[in-house]
Structure 1
């Protein structure tokens, strides 16, 4: 018994479902109980799909023959054979009953079989074997002995040509029929029809010899079943057995008919099959598609790769550039920033902490004195922004002088469309990807694929190493920065002309001419920390300066540079060599202004607090609230003279005074903190390196600290001539050492007539810090020993050179009279250097006693 299984199969098709003699109620149980014996109906469908007895072949009696009827089922249903279930069976008696029934539907495949066989042909159908995978069925029939089977095939073929039978799923191809001349192989393997047949030539009987048929013979055998596209014979030197040939049909249905009709056919000797005959065994073969377009592309990389790069570039410009321009505009105009929302601003104002509000009010009150002192400079910057001059505005001053606050909070107060680019994170970024990412973040450029640059570089290197062609996928840091700044310039142009109306008299002017006539509508670009660590990542500063020059020359935007470096003109002059910069220099505050700043900062922090105890002796105001006790400011003038006029230091002092310290104690703490920072950053061992991070040595830093402790300024060239700079072995370049110390703000180099003139302290408070460090006997002894050892090494080198030359002169066989002067000079040099070494060693010995006797 063969169990009946639920699934998709031939019986699920319309017309193949067997008519039932009874109807099962809906509520009847679907399965029998376990204790009852199921009554299975014997089926013949599944057994006949693989041949009689599941051998894969069909046996035919002498008076029987087999006909293949094609195009009965859609070939797309052959994919159902891939699933691991089997279709339901079909009784052979039911099929034959439906074949003999005259009331069959027009869509029934069995009806199409009946319609394909004319009534005039004297045949009787005895068996029908549907082949869902091949889209047709084998029909076994009997015929009279006096009628040749070839005539039957001819009659059926001619009948189908005159009266074609067309299935509903194939309106352009009718049902075809062909006589099976071989032994068809009815297999249920997962091998599905293809348009190519592999025809193998095997002997009829084991041990015999098969003959490889020619292409002409194969054409004569297979052409009747359909149009042949190509016949490919096996190469003559191939060792693959059995020999075979490929036959490519134009349609898959033709290949199916040829295989089912000629599989197992024995080619006789008269057709070229040899004495014993050659048997044909056929199987479907997947045809290799030519992929000519892909082959053309891969075989011409020198042409294809530049085309691909151009297409990708164009795609990027069309898709991503407008998106990036939109984000840059949103970043500059702050259109989508939550803080600009009126409702959010009102809620924040209503829910803000009163104390923090008063602290902010105190800080603003403290700055009012500074802004009043620098009001002329603020007004001057605002006037420059209203002019049409094509030049830069440069605000220069030391760190902590309030450059950014003056420009952003005062000169540009209330002005919209301001773009701030901070060079510090861009320059300090590690690697090109991080640099590009920080630059894009500064201008609001997104999306940014910073990691793609590394992947593109690897792809470019791989393609170049294999094909010898540079693809251009990877971009340099310079090109990436150029692209970001170019998109930003376009966005700034759109922002500048966004308020232009069609009704304006100059609405027809070009963008640059319109912005030239309306300088108040140009955006403002503020480049902060320009030339921060000017010796590193110089390409960033060059690209920013070049880009800023294009902005001002094209009247796109006003550009303001904020820098600490006094030599900024060297870098900016490369971009605008024929322009004079608008310069605004910020220095330290004068003592009077510094005092007003501190007093206003302190007086603005009147923090009212409710009285908590009855015995509290705090000062009360009119409302009964406690006021903070004002600190003693009798020593303020003297402390300001020590601290100087640096804005950050003054603010630090004001905070300490508000905390309850007196001015002298606060300045002492600030001086000690500065001295500790100098000691940690400049005077501890290991701060002079050979990797280029520091261009100065500990001995050079100590010489400046010790000398500036007792002098307000040092001559620039005098410092270079000292042995700590001229005779240094760790930092031999004295000018580079001074420049490095100036960049770290230990000292300040001031110019005279355009050249370095003298050296002063980096911050006013450093003068007192230098005195504190120089007054430390142990530290001074330790640092002086290091300096003296450096000087002693230099004198030892001088002695070695003089002695080597004296040895050379002494080795002459005869001493000429002309060498007496040179010998005396060398002897004097040795004597002078020896005296210096002895003096250095004596001083070192004295300083070691200090180290051994003091803590």
Structure 2
């Protein structure tokens, strides 16, 4: 009977249609039992440990699998049949071991084998014989060429459940009382080590924390490998530790289960706990993504902005439709702003041709067009000189400089060149992250970027786009196709795009860094022959800023002044006639009335223009007022009165307030106004010698020039030579202000009060020194010249104070009598 069961046992290994026996234990109780002279062995490496992935456990029963696996994984084929191994071992080792039943454990890669043995043969001897046999033969299945089969005697009561509990290298060992009412004893690490070390290398033993209230008590045992853990679990589950072994009076039962070693949030915890590694790596990844992904996109958008790829006005279909519509509907009305400019361009034709000539030459230097505000610099360069230039980039520094905050500045700079996408809001976030990281790690991570760095990225991407545009004109069929890119750009200055930087040095006292970055970037464009650069500026001291970027170059400069009286008159007259010329003819058939021919008051223009000057913005304002029906004389006087009011508001009133940001006092501004009302030009150094300008006089004059009250004219060698009104109309406005006796008396009184304070302070200083000299016991003869000098200075200051007081009395009397 036993031999027939042995021969029939291989049938239980069929992975095809025949079921595997006892997959859920005897009578599906989950347990198997052994009688007298019977024992249970567990063999590992009988099946692949991960076979449950192929069998889709637990989605299908474990005892049903595809028949195709029977040809590859059946133990009878792979040589891992435990029954046959027992039979061979018993015959070779001369020991009576007869297998009676087998139970496959597919998900654990092993099998249980029930066997009978002689009464005189202990289980430990059976285990030792089989282990020696497997160690000698080193049986290895084809799927595991480096790990041999092992065997162990089941000491406890194995649980052969078919639940979806996958093996792991960690076992949870619970300590259970052997009978109800008894007390289980928690085992120490040394005792657990002695029990489980025979089954394989242990990685760690973690007992339950002493303050834990969880019952039953437990401990974690980590094996080095999963097969060692499966062997220990199947051999030691249900093992009873006797009293002699430390299991207590009634004994302690071990209940084992697999515990998945899954640490919750371990990725997050590692990232949080290693900021010195994570933050620099994160910064590098962000920088790498920006360069690899966003930089090409941004360069593409900048290039599209310069070439006007998406501007509908440049589309040939739009142009064709617009031209067709113009042929049907006749409208030739020009904007008011363009009317009359032809006279100005005729006068400045030489400047236009000069700039066009410079753009055809290979000269790595800047072109500077300098002139007061309202002199038509932008119109001269953009609308006239570069009218036929296809590729031009116009950068207005005014919105960049007037932006408040780093994010707004970055957005303004990006908008000028079409740089997108812009993540300016991340600039403040990255700064906070960098500060937090510095507090955590003690060092700066470089995650945040300064405004300087962000602007540098914008200008660098723009330079890349400009270079690409310039090289787009290069073809393989050209005669100089053999030249390198740099040599080709140098040989073809006419192919380079033009960069126009408008409002350069606008509020220069506030934006040094922004202008320095623009100047450095422009210098790279010119020296690398990427583009021509034209600066438009109101500041006469532009050379100080630009010389830092190109210290060894001579700039090409054009200075625009106000229009001559003849050109100014033509501008106004043409401006008046422009609207009438575009109007339809009268319905009665009469000819149009041209203002220059029909109006009798235009003869006043000669006198009016002498008062107004040749500033284009003022002339255009005059023309608009005349269009409304005012006479030229009345219009000019209105403009002068308005300018006088602006001067008082901007330069006089509020200058001495505590919260004022002006760098001059009302007395200093009024002194210039009063003197310029009498003379059109003042000597620069003469102003500095006046008592009112003794303290910080040059800084005050530069501030007033920046505020456009005055214009400082350079003389030989570029030194300041003279001072003129900031606008021609200011000359008349200054005279209008000085004609107001009450205003003049009030401000003159303020000047006299200020001068009196200055002389009084000088007298006190002299008196203190004389007092010090008088305390000497004897006056040396050599001090006599010093004493005479001090006495003379004292007398001079006293005379000035008396004169100031006398003049002040007259002014106070006038202020008390008139409104």
2:9 counterpart residue number: none
In 1, distance between residues paired with 2:680 and 2:592? 49
1:849 counterpart residue number: 813
1:528 counterpart residue number: 502
- Shift of the 353–428 alpha-carbon distance from structure 1 to 2, 3 Å rule, reads farther
Residue-by-residue CA offset, 1:670-696 (whole Å, 9 max, x unaligned): 1111112111111112466688x4321
Contact kept, 8 Å, 2:602 with 2:632, in 1: the verdict is: yes
- Shift of the 576–145 alpha-carbon distance from structure 1 to 2, 3 Å rule, reads closer
1:755 counterpart residue number: 719
1:21 counterpart residue number: none
Equivalent of 1:652 in 621, 626, 645: 621
The 10-residue stretch of structure 1 (551-560 or 594-603) with the greater mean CA deviation from structure 2: 551-560
Residue-by-residue CA offset, 1:220-266 (whole Å, 9 max, x unaligned): 6645xxxx5x3424599989896845232623x76467446533411
Q: What SS does structure 1 have at the residue aligned with 2:679? A: coil
2:365 counterpart residue number: 391
In 2, distance between residues paired with 1:107 and 1:310? 50
| 1:348 CA drift (Å) | 5.2
| 1:747 CA drift (Å) | 0.3
Q: What SS does structure 2 have at the residue aligned with 1:360? A: coil
- Shift of the 236–293 alpha-carbon distance from structure 1 to 2, 3 Å rule, reads closer
| 2:773 counterpart of 1:801 | no
1:638 counterpart residue number: 607
- Shift of the 300–650 alpha-carbon distance from structure 1 to 2, 3 Å rule, reads closer
Contact kept, 8 Å, 2:99 with 2:113, in 1: the verdict is: no
Contact kept, 8 Å, 1:324 with 1:446, in 2: the verdict is: yes
| 1:209 CA drift (Å) | 7.9
The 10-residue stretch of structure 1 (662-671 or 785-794) with the greater mean CA deviation from structure 2: 785-794
| 1:758 CA drift (Å) | 1.2
Q: Which runs of 5+ in 1 are unaligned?
A: 1-13, 16-44, 82-86, 612-618, 727-731
In 2, distance between residues paired with 1:777 and 1:351? 62
2:413 counterpart residue number: 439
Q: What SS does structure 1 have at the residue aligned with 2:548? A: coil
In 2, distance between residues paired with 1:506 and 1:379? 28
Normalised TM-score (structure 2): 0.77
Q: What SS does structure 2 have at the residue aligned with 1:287? A: coil
Residue-by-residue CA offset, 1:85-134 (whole Å, 9 max, x unaligned): xx99x9xxxx9xx99xxx999999xxx9xxx9999999899xx9x999x8
In 2, distance between residues paired with 1:765 and 1:301? 65
Report matched runs for 1:121-270 at 5 Å.
Answer: 182=156, 194-199=168-173, 205-206=182-183, 213-214=190-191, 217-219=194-196, 222=199, 230-233=202-205, 244=219, 246-248=221-223, 250-251=225-226, 255=229, 258-259=232-233, 262-268=236-242
Report matched runs for 1:414-429 at 5 Å.
Answer: 414-429=388-403
2:455 counterpart residue number: 481
Q: Which runs of 5+ in 2 are unaligned?
A: 1-15, 18-23, 75-80, 88-97
1:514 counterpart residue number: 488
2:684 counterpart residue number: 716
In 2, distance between residues paired with 1:353 and 1:809? 96
| 1:641 CA drift (Å) | 0.7
Report matched runs for 1:323-402 at 5 Å.
Answer: 323-347=297-321, 358-360=332-334, 363-402=337-376
Contact kept, 8 Å, 2:674 with 2:738, in 1: the verdict is: yes
2:13 counterpart residue number: none
In 1, distance between residues paired with 2:663 and 2:212? 76
| 1:406 CA drift (Å) | 0.8
| 2:641 counterpart of 1:669 | no
Q: What SS does structure 2 have at the residue aligned with 1:666? A: helix
Equivalent of 1:542 in 502, 512, 516: 516
In 2, distance between residues paired with 1:188 and 1:841? 115
In 2, distance between residues paired with 1:462 and 1:67? 60
Residue-by-residue CA offset, 1:168-191 (whole Å, 9 max, x unaligned): xx9x99999998754678999999
In 2, distance between residues paired with 1:470 and 1:210? 51
In 2, distance between residues paired with 1:819 and 1:240? 98
- Shift of the 352–256 alpha-carbon distance from structure 1 to 2, 3 Å rule, reads farther
| 1:560 CA drift (Å) | 1.4
Q: What SS does structure 2 have at the residue aligned with 1:400? A: coil
Q: What SS does structure 1 have at the residue aligned with 2:760? A: helix
Aligned length, in residue pairs: 765
In 2, distance between residues paired with 1:383 and 1:498? 23
- Shift of the 338–216 alpha-carbon distance from structure 1 to 2, 3 Å rule, reads same
Residue-by-residue CA offset, 1:746-790 (whole Å, 9 max, x unaligned): 001112212111111000000111111122223222222322222
Contact kept, 8 Å, 1:403 with 1:586, in 2: the verdict is: yes
In 2, distance between residues paired with 1:512 and 1:122? 88
Equivalent of 1:694 in 647, 662, 677: 662
In 2, distance between residues paired with 1:656 and 1:546? 44
- Shift of the 815–191 alpha-carbon distance from structure 1 to 2, 3 Å rule, reads farther
1:743 counterpart residue number: 706
Greater fraction of residues in helix: 2
In 2, distance between residues paired with 1:783 and 1:312? 61
In 2, distance between residues paired with 1:104 and 1:293? 41
Residue-by-residue CA offset, 1:19-77 (whole Å, 9 max, x unaligned): xxxxxxxxxxxxxxxxxxxxxxxxxx9xx99x89xxxx999999999999999998689
Contact kept, 8 Å, 1:688 with 1:697, in 2: the verdict is: no
| 1:519 CA drift (Å) | 2.0
Residue-by-residue CA offset, 1:119-158 (whole Å, 9 max, x unaligned): 9999899xx9x999x8999999999999999799999999
Contact kept, 8 Å, 1:217 with 1:272, in 2: the verdict is: no
Q: What SS does structure 2 have at the residue aligned with 1:485? A: helix
- Shift of the 689–621 alpha-carbon distance from structure 1 to 2, 3 Å rule, reads farther
In 2, distance between residues paired with 1:190 and 1:673? 92
In 1, distance between residues paired with 2:604 and 2:483? 64
Equivalent of 2:549 in 575, 593, 597: 575
In 1, distance between residues paired with 2:330 and 2:677? 41
2:3 counterpart residue number: none
Normalised TM-score (structure 1): 0.74
Q: What SS does structure 2 have at the residue aligned with 1:605? A: helix
